[in-house]
Amino acid sequence: MAVAYAGSLEPQRAPDRSSLYAASLDELDNPAVRTGASYWRMLKGARKIPARSELSPRDMRAILKHVLLLRVIDGGADYEYRIVGDVHVQAYGMQFQGSRLSTLEARAKGLGNMLRGLYEHVRVTAEPFAVRGWIGREVKDARFVYFESAFLPLGDDGLTVDHIACVSVYVPRAPD
Global confidence as pTM: 0.92
Average pLDDT of the residues of the chain: 91
Domain for residue 80, yes or no?
Answer: yes
3-state secondary structure of 123: helix
CA distance 25 to 130: 6
Task: Give the model confidence (pLDDT) of 71-119 as tens digits.
Answer: 999 999 999 999 999 999 999 888 989 999 999 888 877 778 889 999 9
More reliable by pLDDT, 14 or 51: 51
How many domains does the chain contain in total? 1
**What pLDDT, in 10s, does the model give residues 127-165?**
999 999 998 888 877 888 999 999 999 999 889 999 999
Q: Sign of the CA dihedral 88, 7, 34, 113?
A: positive
Buried residues in 146-170 as b, exposed as e (16+ CB within 10 A):
bbbbbbbbbbeeeeebbbbbbbbbb
Which CATH number fits the domain that encloses residue 122?
3.30.450.20
Q: What's the CA gap between 20 and 63, in Å, rounded? A: 23
Q: Is residue 91 part of a domain?
A: yes
Cα of 40 vs its chain's centroid, Å? 14
Q: Is 3 inside a domain boundary?
A: no
Domain assignment of residue 40, given as a range: 19-172
